[in-house]
Amino acid sequence: MRFIPTRIHGLVDYAWGLLLGTAPWTLGFAGDGPAAYMAWILGAGAILYSLLTDYEVGLLPVIAVPVHLMLDVAGGAVLAASPWIFGFADRVVWPHLLFGLFSVAAGLATERAPRLPDRIAGNRA
């Protein structure tokens, strides 16, 4: 069931990307190469593709919302599994697992089109 409006999802995207990107410093694993790189790359990537998404808080409407949501689900799954895939599960697990599962859940629960009555998907009014 999709119940999260795209506007809310978009605002959360920026906060999620910022929190994930700064997690290595705030949670103390900035010195752990693979764990930190995953957080930095996926945090920055989420902010970038959010800026490029065709929804209420996107800057340049290049990526359709369904594509954005697929990126959220796929990226979240990789992030959640990354401690085991990249071999840092003995040092850092919870930030990647929780941020990843949140991304998957948000991607699956968000509406696939903006709720703008005066806008057809793909065309800014």
Over residues 104-118, the mean pLDDT reads 88
Question: CB–CB of 16/102 below 8 Å?
Answer: yes
Q: Note the pLDDT tens digit of each residue in 58-103.
A: 999 999 999 999 999 999 999 999 999 999 999 999 999 999 999 9
What are the respective helix, strand and coil percentages of the chain, to the nearest 5?
Answer: 60, 5, 35
Residues 6 or more apart whose CB falls under 8 angstroms from that of 96 comprise 35, 38, 39, 79, 80, 82, 83
Question: CB–CB of 39/24 below 8 Å?
Answer: yes
Q: What is the reported pLDDT for 115?
A: 82
Q: Note the pLDDT tens digit of each residue in 8-61.
A: 999 999 999 999 999 999 999 999 999 999 999 999 999 999 999 999 999 999
Distance CA 8, CA 1 (A): 16
Q: Residue ranges of the domains in the chain?
A: 6-109
Distance CA 102, CA 109 (A): 10
Helix axis angle for 33-51 and 94-109, nearest 10°, is: 20
